[in-house]
Amino acid sequence: MSKLRTSALLFALLTGFSVAATAAEVPAAQPLAVQAPVVAPVTRVNLNSADAETLARELNGIGEAKARAIVEYREAKGAFTSVDELLEVKGIGAATLEKNRERLSVN
């Protein structure tokens, strides 16, 4: 029985040294470089010149029907004087305006 214990102890010691030696050879992990996310530039849409297709494609929450309503409003009332005037278009609410405010211009 003591031979078995001695053998087991010897095996454990040798295995421990082998693992420690191998770990010493492996270089420490280098921290990964953290990169800032790439942010696409915001495309500005001019409410006074964009066609319905452009409005529907570039704006969030604006489909074909609302885009046509924007163009029809502009044709009936004249050029938009501010982005906030978009609230006058039927079907456009404050939430939709706020989702798109940074994308809109009236220049």
Domain spans of the chain? 45-105
Q: In this predicted structure, what is the pLDDT of residue 5?
A: 76
**CATH classification of 45-105 is 3.40.50.2300, yes or no?**
no
* Residue with token string 């029907």: 65
Q: Which one, of 60, 73, 67, lies nearest residue 100 by Cα?
A: 60
- Low pLDDT (below 70) residues in the chain: 1, 9-10, 13, 16-29, 32
How do residues 89-103 score in pLDDT, each as one tens digit?
A: 999 999 999 999 999
How crowded is residue 61: how many other Cβ atoms within 10 Å of its Cβ? Answer: 13
Torsion of CA 85, 89, 94, 96, to 10 degrees: -110
Q: What is the pLDDT of residue 81?
A: 97
Q: Rounded to the nearest 5°, which phi and psi values hold at 105?
A: -145, 165
Q: Which residues contact residue 60 at a Cβ distance below 8 angstroms, ignoring those fewer than 6 apart?
A: 96, 99, 100
